[in-house]
């Protein structure tokens, strides 16, 4: 059973990692906790549901599931990216220079707003998400991994690797890192800080959108509340790994996913959240900068 639980946890962890990556990137650059990242993820899955249902019902792509998956992910990424930029433009940018507590409050407000807007327009009922992965599973050593799970890992890794290469090797990526280090200096160097922040939101929101499609299809249903829960787990992962640290976020996500699953499976599912929170606190007490350390310019 242990192996199976670890597998369960890793899959969960990858989804948290995708979200935590984005959140930590945003924090690194703007020093604001992007509370509505979970909601962007949620919108990604809603867009995904709409597209996937449309495509499967009208029989586009001749029923070739993987193409439907690709199209759904692409459109969800686009929609989510747009939303992310919009949130930045309306809720964060106007108060970039204000005390951080203001941005935090505005972030919370944006999260509530998006969630409520979905309830009011799309209703509080679950939407059924078509299954877009190949069916079947592999059995080994008494455990099993489904093809869906394997695909989720592949796609997640793909997104992470692309993102990482972009950050380290491209001109834009390097400019992003400069902005993260020191906004003022970056501005002096001729970098349009606001544009780059918007770019960050675009990228992380697109990733969140993709995660939304993967999650929606994997669990088979989508509702307005997933953003809140996923967002919480993402924050926790981000903090665990060290804010601003993208590798840390990935690690944090995996740790939280596996820890949560193991605690739920071995100790108590009832009290799982309490124990995970305690775990976070304990780790922070011993390593206040998170597991892999922070990467944020200290704003004194």
Partner 1 sequence: MRTKVLMFGFLAVFAFSVSASAQPTIKIGFGGPLSGPQTEIGKKALSGVQLAVEEANAKGGVLGKKLEVVPADDEGKSEGAVNAANSLVKKGVVGVVGHWNSACSFPASEIYAEKNIAMITYASTNPKLTERGLKNIFRTYGRDDEHGRINGEFIVNTLKKKRVAILHDKGAYGKMMAEITGQTIKKLGGEVVIFDGITSGEKDFRAILTKIKSLNPEVLFYGGYYSDFGLILKQAKELGAKWDFVSVGGTYDPELIKIAGEGGEGAFIQAISLDAVKDQASFKRFLQSFREKYKTDPDLWAAIAYENADILISGIKKAGSTDPQKIINAIKGFKDYPGTLGPVTFNEKGDIMAPLLSMFQVQKGKFVPYISGLK
Partner 2 sequence: MRMNRSYLPKNPLRRANPWLLAVIILSLIFPWLSPEYYVDLAFNVLIYIILAESLNVIIGFAGLLNLGHAAFFGVGAYTYGILWRFFQLPFIFALPLSAVFAAIMGLLLGLPVLRVRHDYIAIVTLGFGEVIKLILNNWTDLTDGPNGIYGMAPPQIWGFAIRSRTQYYYLTLLLVYLILFLMVRLAHSRLGRAWIAIREDEVSAATLGVRVDRLKLLAFTVGASLAGVAGCLMASKHRFISPAGFGFYESIIILCMVIVGGIGNIPGVVLGASILYIVPEILREFSDFRMITVGVAMITLMIFRPEGILGREKRKMIWERAAKVERGKPFS
For position 266 contacting partner 1 by CB under 8 A, the verdict is yes
192: three-class secondary structure by DSSP: coil
Lookup result for tokens 């020093």: 31
For position 113 contacting partner 1 by CB under 8 A, the verdict is no
CA distances from 31 to 84, 112, 134, 297 (A): 16, 20, 41, 9
Q: Which stretch binds partner 1 (CB under 8 A): 106-114, 170-178, 190-198, 219-227?
A: 219-227
List the x/- string, 241-260, binding to partner 1 by CB under 8 A: -------------------x
144: three-class secondary structure by DSSP: strand
What minimum distance in Å lies between the beta carbon of 193 and partner 1?
37
For position 262 contacting partner 1 by CB under 8 A, the verdict is yes
36: three-class secondary structure by DSSP: coil
What minimum distance in Å lies between the beta carbon of 122 and partner 1?
13
Interface residue list for partner 2 (CB under 8 A): 27, 31, 33, 90-91, 94-95, 98, 100-106, 108-117, 120, 232, 235-236, 239, 243, 270-271, 273-274, 277-278, 280-281, 284-285, 288-289, 294, 300
Single out the residue of 147, 143, 149 nearest to residue 135, CA to CA: 147
- Residue 87's contacts (CB-CB under 8 Å, 6 or more residues apart) are 36, 40, 110, 114, 201
Q: Detail the DSSP E strand segments found in the chain.
A: 127-128, 137-140, 143-146, 221-222
Binding residues vs partner 1 (CB under 8 A): 1, 4-5, 8-9, 12, 123-126, 128, 144, 146, 215, 219-221, 223, 225-226, 228-229, 260-266, 268-270, 272-273
């Amino acid at each position: 059973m242990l192996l199976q639980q670890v597998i369960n946890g890793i899959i969960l962890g990858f989804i948290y990692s995708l979200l935590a990556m984005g959140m930590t990137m945003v924090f690194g650059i703007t020093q604001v906790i992007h509370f509505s990242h979970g909601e962007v993820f949620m919108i990604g899955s809603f867009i995904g549901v709409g597209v996937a249902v449309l495509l499967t019902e009208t029989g586009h792509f001749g029923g070739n599931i993987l193409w439907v998956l690709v199209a759904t992910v692409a459109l969800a990424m686009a929609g989510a990216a747009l939303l992310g930029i919009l949130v930045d433009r309306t809720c964060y940018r106007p108060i970039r220079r204000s005390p951080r507590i203001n941005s935090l409050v505005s972030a919370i407000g944006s999260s509530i707003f998006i969630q409520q807007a979905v309830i009011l327009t799309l209703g509080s009922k679950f939407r059924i998400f078509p299954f877009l992965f190949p069916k079947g599973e592999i059995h080994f050593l008494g455990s099993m991994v489904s093809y869906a799970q394997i695909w989720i890992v592949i796609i997640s890794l793909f997104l992470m690797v692309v993102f990482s290469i972009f950050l380290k090797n491209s001109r834009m990526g390097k400019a992003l890192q400069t902005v993260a280090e020191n906004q003022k200096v970056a501005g002096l160097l001729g970098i349009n800080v606001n544009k780059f922040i918007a770019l960050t939101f675009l990228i992380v929101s697109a990733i969140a959108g993709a995660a939304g499609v993967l999650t929606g299809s994997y669990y088979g249903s989508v509702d307005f509340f997933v953003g809140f829960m996923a967002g919480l787990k993402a924050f926790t992962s981000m903090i665990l790994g060290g804010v601003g640290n993208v590798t840390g976020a990935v690690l944090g996500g995996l740790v939280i996913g596996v820890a949560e699953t193991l605690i739920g499976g071995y100790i108590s599912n009832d009290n799982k959240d309490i124990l995970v929170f305690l775990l976070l606190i304990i780790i922070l007490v011993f390593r206040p900068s998170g597991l892999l350390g922070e990467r944020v310019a200290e704003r004194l």
